[in-house]
């Protein structure tokens, strides 16, 4: 029986084998959902091992270029790793010892006074509304609030009641954190030392026919993810430093604490900086309108410097992801996986993008093979 060109294009008999494979995978997933309790120990092991592994990979992408540089200047790789780890540990310890007292004092004071800041801001907004054109709608809004959210206290009580059960898992959570802190440096050491060996060992498990292509895919993933992690952390650090300097210049309270919050949240693009500015706005509003204006000037200046000088030079155009795409990824990943999804959503997208580009290249080559001469070929 003669096979049509279209059937050859979509895979011929291989297509049916692929469909059978998908059906078998679906059956396996269905069976797993029915007997998932059997795999609970495996899930526990994975959830325990995954956090330090993720931390180690993030640190690996930050430190591996430095280790490679030291190796190029004839410093043994193991000694280079030891020097870097000890140097960073000493630097972090020194920074913590120098800044911890000031940060601790500011955090305690801010935590104690923040409810008052919110109350004063709320009273100021209420007074402004009552004397503005929105005054006629104020009573309606207040009535809606009291009618729909009057039982908020009981709702919070229910949530807290459910949270009591979660408190029982504090011991296991502490254990996981301790395990992550202990194992993270060990995993990082072996990643820096034997990262290439792990990759070569994995490639040797594959048939020789596919090794070059898989090696190229892994290289592209490594470049995409590594560039993003390195660039985003450097950008976030620069934002924190610039905001700290700006806050000191304008005399905003809790400068170092607010700058650290901004640096940490700025790891998440677009959404992070928006979250970071909220505490500073609340404090500035309570302080004075002039302070709010100063804060606006500082924030605009930092965003201008970050957008025009820091990010273009640090991030470059490696990712080439549209801002709208990033926002959608963050929303979807956050909804599916929470905070972890927000942090790892963009690197995950980078990996999927590499795979998608590879598959599309394969599709174009196959299309050109069967239809290129008749209807025009894809450009390579």
The mean pLDDT value for 259-272 works out to 82
Maximum alpha-carbon separation in the chain: 85
Percentage of residues in the chain having pLDDT higher than 90:
3
> How many whole angstroms separate alpha carbon 263 and alpha carbon 273?
8
- Looking at 14-23, 113-122, 282-291, which range is the least confident one? 113-122
The mean pLDDT value for 158-182 works out to 55
pLDDT the model gives residue 47 = 73
DSSP for 117-131, please give it: HHHHHHHHHHHHHHT
> How many whole angstroms separate alpha carbon 41 and alpha carbon 30?
19
pLDDT the model gives residue 161 = 47
> How many whole angstroms separate alpha carbon 266 and alpha carbon 233?
8
CA distances from 57 to 152, 217, 290, 305, 336 (A): 43, 18, 45, 29, 22
Is the pLDDT at 377 greater than 60, yes or no? yes
pLDDT the model gives residue 332 = 85
Q: Is the dihedral of CA 269, 273, 275, 276 positive or negative?
A: positive
Is the pLDDT at 142 greater than 60, yes or no? no
pLDDT tens for each residue of 56-95: 888 888 888 888 888 888 888 888 888 888 888 888 788 7
Is the pLDDT at 256 greater than 70, yes or no? yes
Q: How confident is the model at residue 380 (pLDDT cuts 50, 70, 90)?
A: low
More confident residue, 340 or 209: 209
Residue found under tokens 């309606």: 140
Which of 189-197's residues contact partners 24+ apart within 8 Å by CB, and which partners?
Answer: 189/81, 189/85, 191/56, 191/57, 191/60, 191/64, 192/60, 192/63, 192/64, 192/67, 192/77, 192/81, 193/77, 193/78, 193/81, 195/60, 195/64
Look up the pTM and report it: 0.67
Q: How confident is the model at residue 200 (pLDDT cuts 50, 70, 90)?
A: confident
Phi-psi region of 377 (alpha: psi -120 to 50; beta: other; left: phi over 0): beta
The mean pLDDT value for 101-127 works out to 67
pLDDT the model gives residue 41 = 76
Percentage of residues in the chain having pLDDT higher than 70:
70
Q: Are 336 and 206 in contact (CB under 8 A)?
A: no
Q: How confident is the model at residue 162 (pLDDT cuts 50, 70, 90)?
A: very low
CA 279 and chain centroid, separation: 21
pLDDT the model gives residue 111 = 67
Task: State residue 249 phi and psi, 5-degree precision.
Answer: -65, -45
The mean pLDDT value for 38-61 works out to 78
Q: Are 346 and 269 in contact (CB under 8 A)?
A: yes
- Looking at 1-15, 111-125, 329-343, 363-377, which range is the least confident one? 1-15
pLDDT the model gives residue 195 = 79
Highest mean pLDDT pick, 166-175, 235-244, 365-374: 235-244
Q: Are 347 and 228 in contact (CB under 8 A)?
A: yes
Is the pLDDT at 138 greater than 60, yes or no? no
- Looking at 25-39, 162-176, 234-248, 264-278, which range is the least confident one? 162-176
Is the pLDDT at 164 greater than 50, yes or no? no
Is the pLDDT at 159 greater than 50, yes or no? no
The token pair at 140 is: 């309606």
The CB density around residue 9, as the number of other CB atoms within 10 Å, is 15
Is the pLDDT at 220 greater than 70, yes or no? yes
Mean pLDDT, the chain, whole residue set:
76
The mean pLDDT value for 173-181 works out to 66
pLDDT the model gives residue 297 = 92
Helix intervals (H) in 13-134:
13-34, 40-72, 77-130
């Amino acid at each position: 029986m003669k096979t049509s060109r279209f059937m050859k294009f979509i895979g011929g008999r291989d297509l049916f084998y692929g469909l059978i494979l998908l059906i078998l995978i679906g059956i396996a997933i269905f069976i797993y959902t029915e007997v998932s309790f059997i795999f609970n120990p495996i899930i526990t092991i994975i959830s325990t091992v995954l956090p330090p592994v993720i931390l180690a990979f993030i640190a690996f992408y930050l430190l591996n270029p430095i280790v490679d540089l030291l190796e190029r200047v004839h410093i043994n790789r193991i000694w280079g790793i030891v020097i870097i780890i000890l140097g960073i540990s000493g630097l972090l310890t020194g920074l913590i010892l120098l800044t911890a007292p000031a940060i601790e004092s500011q955090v305690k004071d801010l935590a104690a006074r923040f409810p008052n800041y919110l109350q004063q801001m709320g009273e100021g907004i209420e007074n402004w509304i009552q004397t503005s054109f929105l005054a006629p709608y104020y009573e309606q809004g207040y009535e809606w609030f009291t009618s729909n959210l009057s039982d908020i206290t009981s709702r919070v009580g229910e949530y807290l009641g459910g949270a009591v059960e979660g408190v029982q898992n504090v011991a296991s959570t502490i254990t996981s954190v301790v395990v992550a802190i202990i194992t993270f440096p060990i995993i990082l050491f072996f990643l820096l030392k034997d990262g290439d060996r792990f990759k070569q060992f994995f490639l040797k498990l594959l048939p020789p026919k596919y090794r070059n292509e898989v090696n190229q895919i892994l290289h592209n993933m490594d470049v995409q993810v590594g560039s993003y992690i390195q660039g985003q952390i450097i950008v976030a650090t620069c934002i924190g430093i610039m905001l700290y300097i700006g806050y000191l210049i304008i005399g905003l309270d809790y400068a170092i604490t607010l700058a650290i919050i901004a640096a940490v949240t700025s790891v998440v693009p677009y959404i992070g900086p928006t979250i970071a500015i909220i505490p500073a706005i609340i404090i500035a509003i309570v302080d004075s309108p002039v302070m709010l204006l100063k804060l606006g000037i500082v924030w605009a200046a930092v965003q201008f410097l970050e957008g025009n000088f820091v990010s273009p030079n640090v991030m470059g155009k490696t990712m080439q992801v549209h801002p709208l795409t990033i926002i959608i990824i963050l929303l979807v990943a956050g909804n599916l996986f929470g905070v972890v999804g927000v942090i790892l959503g963009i690197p995950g997208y980078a990996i999927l993008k590499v795979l998608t580009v590879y598959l599309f290249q394969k599709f174009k080559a196959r299309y050109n093979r069967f239809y290129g001469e008749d209807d025009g070929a894809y450009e390579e």
